[in-house]
Chain A
Amino acid sequence: MIYSSIGYYALILGLSISLPIFFFSIKNFGRNEIFDSKIISFSFIQFLLVVVSFLSLIISFVFSDFSNETVFNNSHTTKPLFYKISGTWGNHEGSLLLWLLVLNLFIFIFLVKSRNLPKKYRILTVLFQQIIIIGFFIFLIDSSNPFNYVFPTPSEGLGLNPILQDPALAIHPPVLYLGYVGSSIIFSSALAATCINFISKTWATHIKKWVLISWIFLTIGILLGSIWAYYELGWGGFWFWDPVENVSLMPWLALTTLLHCVLVLEKRSTLTSWVIILSITTFILSMCGTFLVRSGILNSVHTFANDPERGLFILSFLFLLFFISLFIFFAFHKSDKPGIISFALFSKETSILINNWLMMYFLSVVLIGTLYPIFLDVISSEQISVGPPFYHKLIIPILIPFLIFMALSTQLKWIKFELNGKIYLIVFFIISLTISYFIVNNFGDNLLINIVLIGSAFYLFLVTVRDFLKKKIQNFSQNLSHFGFSLLILSILFNNIFSSEIITNLKVGETFKNEKFEIEFNNLKKFEEQNYTSYKGYFLIKEDQTKEKLEPELRVYNQPNIITSEADIKTTFLSDKFITINTVQNEEYFNVRYLVKPLMLWIWISVILISLGGTISLFKRKSL
């Protein structure tokens, strides 16, 4: 009881702290003094108050205080402690409190870390960030209060959706939020820098760290969600072009482009308009994701309550931020001075610029595919869905030039074009196409596009490997990320081409046979666990000479009463063997799905390599 009150009043007090921050910032702005340290102190106090609020929500969850509505709706006494804690952000109210916490944390870190930068820039960043913070405070207190009372106090909670009771998904939201909210600092400081015309090399070096941090967390966050979907949802894939996945991919695409633009800005002082627009876009897309997911427009596991009022608030707030940033961009931004921006047709700048445009193309494809069904529903109330074929058709062909320019951009020079010693680029291209031809010709469908696509992925692969050997540690982080990307594309392509799948219905004791596989369903055993009953199936898979024992599971949770399938996966470096079972009421037959997924592990490894490249670049002393 007491913790709910503490949490609630901490929030109210936190909101009121915004007033002195505004007051001292504006007072300090016009004067010729040094930066007023009161602003830092008050930001710290505000951050502490949100921490107190967040901790009291966690404590309410740990002690199962069901007089708190959020706890009542999302927790249960028999739930393991770990999932009681992760339940704090596994719901709408708690996850927004986490947003606010990260918003405050980041602006505090920003203030501490930016001591050498101009005073006006720091103050303006704080002001813009405060606008976002106030918006979230009001949203929390007004329409999504995590500390509402339930009276009389219920003796038992409603429980957390069992498919969310999973280690990967327990840390997925905080990691993803660090990425999403990190983009708020980029947004605020880009606006501040535009206002005082501070978009420069110094600014790029400083903001690069923030871009990298958000980018790393966003990448890892998406990876965790993807791994979870792979083993928990039982569809045996890692990306479904579901709108909920798309809304996390869109900020990632914008952020990745921004990262490259900031690097160009740091080295060459150009692309300033790109940097500002992308900073704004990334944050607006992050907010948009929150809006679409939280408002109930997209139905998914992330939708906790369909409350139109909440959606309307985020939407209005989104438009407010959007118009403020548009106004600032057009009112204050001076475009690059002509003369500086001239560079040769085949220079590094050109290839980066081309890939920026291609990234924007990918972004607009995903954006249209995600938003079009919503618009159509609103306008004509006709219901449609846009599936993977749409995205595959539009994205895969464009990946070919994208991969080639990615390989070339690292080999070309800034400003000018040099042909000396670049013969290997052509040799590598021919080699890659030949390798790809033999692979696709012998095993897969003999399609021209497959050959060229795998060829260009191999091309990037070879070029980056050569750089590892030749240049050693120079450009190591960038090279590692690009290498990871080529590995990712290769793994995804081979995974797609060489996967095999068997779907059948079996009773206990029956065997399925075809030319390649033999699946024996030997036994089914029952186990009682803390908050669910588990039914384990015992399978023996025979393929050629190898035998594999697999034990997929069905879990019947007590509260809420839901059945989930737990896949059993045998992972090796070459391929994953994946099996799930499901039951249909009143039937003796079990749905059995067996998949062989080649190179699955490498998809995860390559994404880790990509983000590792970013991490190394973050901790490097000097940018190489």
Chain B
Amino acid sequence: MYGRKVKLRFLFILLTLSALILTVFLIIKSLEENVVYFKSPSEIKLITEIENKKIRIGGMVKKNSIEMSTNAINFIITDFKNEINVTYSGVVPNLFSEEKGVVAEGVLKDRNFFHASKILAKHDENYMPPEVKASLEKE
């Protein structure tokens, strides 16, 4: 039948292939688990089930909606159709202010209430997170 060399080479290729497939499978699987989806306030209203999973919400900070206390900052994110209340205890980025674009990452408590664990930093006054830009362009 086949020589020892051919068998060895076949075994080697088989092992490499299966290792490769396993790696790709593992990467894709953990990608699915750790991906954070982006939603606008209007899309939140359409959600049927509240999951305890991290998401991002983007839009504008509503005028006169920022309230601050020792423990938290509360504000409202709006896409001019729907809005959502956000509570956040942490440091906001330098460019966080009313009537400016914002992206909050955290967990949804219900359809009107969002608990943020991170407010995304922006580096530049002209820069708008791509998600915000997209959701404002949909208007």
- Determine if B73 and A394 form an interchain contact, defined as CB atoms under 8 angstroms apart: no
Encoded as 1 (CB less than 8 Å from any A CB) or 0, chain B from 78 to 114 comes to: 0000000000011111111110000000000000000
> Per DSSP, are chain A's interface residues mostly helix, strand or loop, or mixed?
mixed
Encoded as 1 (CB less than 8 Å from any B CB) or 0, chain A from 376 to 414 comes to: 000000111111011001100000000000000000000
- Determine if B123 and A365 form an interchain contact, defined as CB atoms under 8 angstroms apart: no
A310: CB under 8 A from chain B?
A: no
- Determine if A591 and B35 form an interchain contact, defined as CB atoms under 8 angstroms apart: no
- Determine if B94 and A384 form an interchain contact, defined as CB atoms under 8 angstroms apart: no
- Determine if A593 and B31 form an interchain contact, defined as CB atoms under 8 angstroms apart: no
B121: CB under 8 A from chain A?
A: yes
- Determine if A233 and B121 form an interchain contact, defined as CB atoms under 8 angstroms apart: yes
Complex Cα distance A497/B31, Å?
A: 24
Encoded as 1 (CB less than 8 Å from any A CB) or 0, chain B from 32 to 48 comes to: 00111110000000000
A322: CB under 8 A from chain B?
A: no
- Determine if A234 and B134 form an interchain contact, defined as CB atoms under 8 angstroms apart: no
List residues of B (106-139) whose CB comes within 8 Å of A's CBs: 121, 123-125, 127, 129-131, 134
What B residues does A161 contact at CB under 8 A? 123-124
Complex Cα distance A356/B128, Å?
A: 40
A78: CB under 8 A from chain B?
A: no
- Determine if A384 and B98 form an interchain contact, defined as CB atoms under 8 angstroms apart: no
- Determine if B34 and A585 form an interchain contact, defined as CB atoms under 8 angstroms apart: no
- Determine if B68 and A593 form an interchain contact, defined as CB atoms under 8 angstroms apart: no
What A residues does B69 contact at CB under 8 A? 505, 589
List residues of A (482-514) whose CB comes within 8 Å of B's CBs: 503-506, 510, 512
- Determine if B92 and A587 form an interchain contact, defined as CB atoms under 8 angstroms apart: no
What B residues does A512 contact at CB under 8 A? 70
What B residues does A300 contact at CB under 8 A? 123
B66: CB under 8 A from chain A?
A: yes
What B residues does A504 contact at CB under 8 A? 70-71
A469: CB under 8 A from chain B?
A: no
Complex Cα distance A582/B92, Å?
A: 7
What B residues does A394 contact at CB under 8 A? 26-27, 30
- Determine if A584 and B92 form an interchain contact, defined as CB atoms under 8 angstroms apart: yes
- Determine if A584 and B97 form an interchain contact, defined as CB atoms under 8 angstroms apart: yes
Q: A372-B31, A389-B34 are in contact. Are A562 and B94 (CB under 8 A)?
A: yes
Complex Cα distance A303/B134, Å?
A: 18
- Determine if A383 and B34 form an interchain contact, defined as CB atoms under 8 angstroms apart: no
Q: A383-B130, A505-B70, A505-B71 are in contact. Are A564 and B94 (CB under 8 A)?
A: yes
List residues of A (560-612) whose CB comes within 8 Å of B's CBs: 560-565, 580, 582, 584-587, 589, 591-593
- Determine if B124 and A386 form an interchain contact, defined as CB atoms under 8 angstroms apart: no
- Determine if A503 and B34 form an interchain contact, defined as CB atoms under 8 angstroms apart: no
A163: CB under 8 A from chain B?
A: yes
What B residues does A565 contact at CB under 8 A? 94
What is the chain A residue whose CB lies nearest that of B26? A394
What A residues does B73 contact at CB under 8 A? 505, 584, 591
- Determine if A585 and B70 form an interchain contact, defined as CB atoms under 8 angstroms apart: no
Complex Cα distance A585/B26, Å?
A: 46
What A residues does B92 contact at CB under 8 A? 582, 584, 591
What A residues does B123 contact at CB under 8 A? 161, 163, 300-301
Complex Cα distance A503/B72, Å?
A: 9
What is the chain A residue whose CB lies nearest that of B90? A503
Complex Cα distance A386/B73, Å?
A: 26
Contact of A368 among B27, B68, B94 (CB under 8 A): B27
What A residues does B134 contact at CB under 8 A? 383
Contact of B34 among A234, A393, A582 (CB under 8 A): A393
- Determine if B27 and A385 form an interchain contact, defined as CB atoms under 8 angstroms apart: no
Complex Cα distance A560/B127, Å?
A: 13
Complex Cα distance A56/B5, Å?
A: 64
What A residues does B93 contact at CB under 8 A? 582
Footprint of A on B, CB under 8 Å? 23, 26-27, 30-31, 34-38, 54, 56, 66, 68-73, 89-98, 121, 123-125, 127, 129-131, 134
Some 14 contacts from A to B, beta carbons below 8 A apart, are A300-B123, A361-B23, A383-B130, A383-B134, A386-B34, A393-B34, A503-B91, A504-B70, A504-B71, A505-B73, A512-B70, A562-B95, A584-B97, A585-B98
Footprint of B on A, CB under 8 Å? 161, 163, 233-235, 299-301, 303, 361, 364-365, 368-369, 372, 382-387, 389-390, 393-394, 503-506, 510, 512, 560-565, 580, 582, 584-587, 589, 591-593
Closest 8 CB pairs of A and B: A390-B34, A383-B38, A301-B123, A589-B68, A593-B91, A591-B91, A587-B68, A389-B34
